[in-house]
Amino acid sequence: METITFKGIGTYWSVSIDESVDDVVELKKTLFEFVADFESRFSRFISSSEVNQFRKRERGTYPLSAECALLFSAAHELRTLTHGAFDPAVAGLLEGVGYDATYRLTPDESAITSFVPTAWSLSRDQLAIDGPVGFDFGGIGKGYCIDRVHELLKEKGYHYFIVEAGGDMVATTKADGSGWRVAIEYPGKPDIALGLVELVNQGLAVSDSFRRRFGAWHHIVDPRTKAPVTQIIGVAAIAPTAWQADKMTSGLFLGQPAEYALLAEKFSSAYLVVTHDGMVQKSINWKGELF
């Protein structure tokens, strides 16, 4: 078992490969550079990134790279499914609540109350914006990037591995055909597991509302109400890919409970929703053990 760890897109990555790796140092360099390249193109924390160019653009239509169009297309699907609760045009609001590159701790109330998400639409690879806008691919970008690393490893000829970034992951199987055993953290209780799953050619995403919290605000904000989501404290999703699982967890946080089944269908997911009263709602197709 070879394990490679590195930092990328603001989180820790760990990739375990259950077969021999000829040149671990070389592979680590390849993976690190791949993720760094993704970050340079899509992070809102990097001023030269493709998504940041729209902060200074006037109302109009602009061409996107194929990969950027793919991310916007997914964002649009999720925006539709959550009736606007998910919107990548939320970067300005996130900065208003203190979730910016410098991690200010005090929410700027005036930025919150004055925030109106800029309208945008996508037609093939053409992005139309109503005015200058900051985009944030949090909620879908990490899962996508994890899947790309998974593909890269496949291209390199590996079969048995798990790719994990900041608690989200995708796995094939181990060399003996068994799954990768993953404990799911209880939201807000880092030393407690709420369940155990075995990943076999599946992605897993977990999201909670405790991380990077600023007073009453946290990183999941509904742009319609400009308020953080409070009822749900954590969600988890298992899907064929990390990207689908990532989109599912965002949908669970921001969508209507009555539409969870529809979301699960769209993203081929099984899911858990943990509410503030400590109850866990699970989809009927959730296979893992709960404690």
Partner 1 sequence: MSNSLKITLIVGLFALGIGGGYYALSKNIAPAGTATETTTTETPLMQETPVSVTPPITSAPHETTNPHVPDITPVTPTTTAPTSSPIIAVPAQSKTTHIIVSYDEPSGGSRVGFTLAVDGQGVITDAQTDVLAVEDEAIKRQERFAKGFSVAVKGKKLSELTNIDRVGGASLTTEAFNSALTKLKAQL
* Least separation in angstroms between CB 97 and partner 1: 17
Residue 116 or 290 having the CB closest to partner 1: 290
- Angle 242-254/141-155 helices, nearest 10 degrees? 170
Residue 64 or 199 having the CB closest to partner 1: 199
Under 8 Å between Cβ of 170 and 153 = no
Q: Which residues of 177-188 are buried (b: 16+ CB within 10 A; e: fewer)?
A: eebbebebbbbe
Residues found near partner 1 in the complex (CB under 8 A): 1-3, 5, 11-12, 14, 16, 162, 164, 166-169, 180-197, 204-208, 210-211, 234, 236, 257, 260-261, 274-275, 278-284, 290-291
- Sheet of 2-8: strand order equals 2-8, 11-17, 161-165, 168-171, 202-208, 232-239, 270-275
Residue 118 or 283 having the CB closest to partner 1: 283
Residue 132 or 257 having the CB closest to partner 1: 257
Residue 134 or 288 having the CB closest to partner 1: 288
* Least separation in angstroms between CB 136 and partner 1: 16
Which residues are within 8 A (CB) of 119 and not within 5 positions of it... i.e. 6 or more apart?
89, 129, 130
Phi, psi (deg, nearest 5) at residue 245: -65, -40
* Least separation in angstroms between CB 290 and partner 1: 5
* Least separation in angstroms between CB 147 and partner 1: 16
* Least separation in angstroms between CB 162 and partner 1: 6
- Angle 242-254/66-81 helices, nearest 10 degrees? 40
